[in-house]
A = this chain, B = another copy of it.
C-alpha cells in the first residue's frame, strides 16, 4: 500500500488503476466488468450523493424507486432509445426455475419503466410537473471497462421529470445541467465546460443533450454529467397525455438527467498526483487526519492527552477528523498512506510539539509542511479547508486554460489533439464531417458551449463562416 504508484508521466492509465487500488477505492470483482466499491471509495460516493441529494430536494425534487427489471418490449417502444441501448443489455430469461414468457432486461436507464408509470399517474395539468429522482444501480454490457469510469454495473441517480409545456421541460434540463456544474465546481473543485452535445453525441431518445465536460490530468476530456430535453418522445412512446388548462388532451413534455459513480473517477483524475489521491475538503471522507508520534508508552499517553482536545475542537467545528491509532505501522508509513488517500490536512504530533504547544501541518494539495501553534491551527482550520478547496479549483482552472487552444486549421487540431488538451474552434460541419474527424484523429466534439463569443469566424474544417464555436478533444 505504501509502495507508491506508477508515475503519471510513465503510464497515466496504469497510474489511475494503481491509485484506485492502493487508495482502496475499488477492486476488481470475479464478475467481468463489475467492480467492488470499497469503503473508502464508497465514502466518497456517499459524500457526493448526500450533497447532490440535498441540492435536488432544494430545487423541489423527490426520490422514488422503480423496478430494475424491465420487459424487453418496453425498450423497443422508442426507436432511437432501443437502437442506442440494445447492444448493451443484460437479459434475464429465467426466474424461479422457469423460463420467462417475456425476457426482462436489467435497466440500462429507466425512461421506459418510469414513463409506463407516468401514464397511470398523470391525467391533468394539476398532476404536473412531476419532479422525480431515483438513486439506483444500472447495467450496460461494456466491452472495455475501467474502474469507476466505465463498468458493466454502476451506481447513479437519474432524474425523470414531466411537464405541461415544452418550455418548462427545457428549463428543467437547463437548470439541472447548471446544478451539476455548481456541484462539480464548488464541491469537487473540478471546473467544467457546460454546453450542448452534437447530434452524433446526444442521448438515444433525446431532442437535446446538455453536458458538463472536465479536463482530466492527462488533458483528456471526461463527460461528467448530462441532462436531456426529451420533448414528447417518451410520452408518445408510452401514450402519456394530460388535459391542459383549455381542456385539450396533449402529450406530456419530459427531461431526464444523471450523474454516476464515474464522478469518483473524475475526482481522481482531476486532482491526483504521483503520490496518490488529492481530495477537495468538501468531499473528503476525512478532512484532517492526525498521526501521533511517540517512542514509548509514556510519550504515547502524553501525546494522546494532547491530541484529545484538538480532536474534540475539530469535531465541534464540524471538521471530519480521524486519529490514526494503528499500532503496528510506523509514522512514515502512515504519512504515505494518508497522502495516497488524499486527505487534505495531516497533523503530525510528537512529544516536542506537546512541549511547545505546536503541531506540524502537512497540506496535501501543495505538499507543504509547517510547524504552527496549536491554538492558531484550531482557530483557523475551517478557513484553511476553504482555502484549499478554492485553491484546488483555481489550480485546475489554470491547468485547463493553459491546455486549451483556439485553433483555426485541421492541422492545428491534429497537433493539439496529439499534444493533449482542448481545442476551441469555429465549427459548421455536418455529422459526417464530425465522424470523419473522429476516425482520423480520435477527437470528438465534446460540446457546443453555452457561452459563445458572439463573433463570427471561419470553420476550421469546412471553411464556411459561422458564429458557432465548439470544444474538441480526445475523451474517456
- Asked if A71 meets B141 with Cβ closer than 8 Å, knowing A42-B63, A63-B43, the reply is no
- Report whether B31 and A43 are in contact in the complex, using a CB–CB cutoff of 8 Å: no
Q: Closest B-chain residue to A74, C-beta based?
A: B30
Q: Is A13 an interface residue (CB 8 A)?
A: no
Q: Which residues of B contact A36 (CB under 8 A)?
A: 64-67, 117
- Report whether A69 and B139 are in contact in the complex, using a CB–CB cutoff of 8 Å: yes
Q: Which residues of B contact A46 (CB under 8 A)?
A: 63
- Report whether B126 and A31 are in contact in the complex, using a CB–CB cutoff of 8 Å: no
- Report whether A71 and B30 are in contact in the complex, using a CB–CB cutoff of 8 Å: yes
A266-304 contact mask (Cβ, 8 Å, vs B): 1 or 0: 000000000000000000000000000000000000000
Question: Which residues of A, 128-143, contact B by the 8 Å Cβ criterion?
Answer: 132, 136-137, 139, 141-143
Partner of A39, one of B63, B70, B71: B63
What is the CA–CA distance of A121 and B64 in the complex, to the nearest angstrom?
A: 35
CB of A120, distance to nearest CB on chain B (Å): 7
- Asked if A31 meets B104 with Cβ closer than 8 Å, knowing A42-B63, A62-B43, A65-B37, the reply is yes
Among listed A93-101, A229-237, A343-351, A405-413, interface-contacting one: A93-101
Q: Which residues of B contact A142 (CB under 8 A)?
A: 96
Q: Is A263 an interface residue (CB 8 A)?
A: no
Question: Which residues of A, 19-61, contact B by the 8 Å Cβ criterion?
Answer: 27, 29-31, 34-39, 42-43, 45-46
- Give the one of A30, A34, A45 with max B CB within 10 A: A30
CB of A224, distance to nearest CB on chain B (Å): 20
- Report whether A31 and B69 are in contact in the complex, using a CB–CB cutoff of 8 Å: yes
Q: Closest B-chain residue to A104, C-beta based?
A: B31
Q: List 26 A-B contacts (CB under 8 A).
A: A27-B120, A30-B113, A30-B116, A31-B67, A31-B70, A31-B113, A34-B68, A36-B64, A36-B65, A36-B117, A39-B62, A39-B63, A42-B64, A42-B65, A65-B155, A68-B139, A86-B97, A89-B94, A89-B95, A89-B96, A89-B97, A90-B96, A90-B104, A96-B142, A106-B106, A126-B328
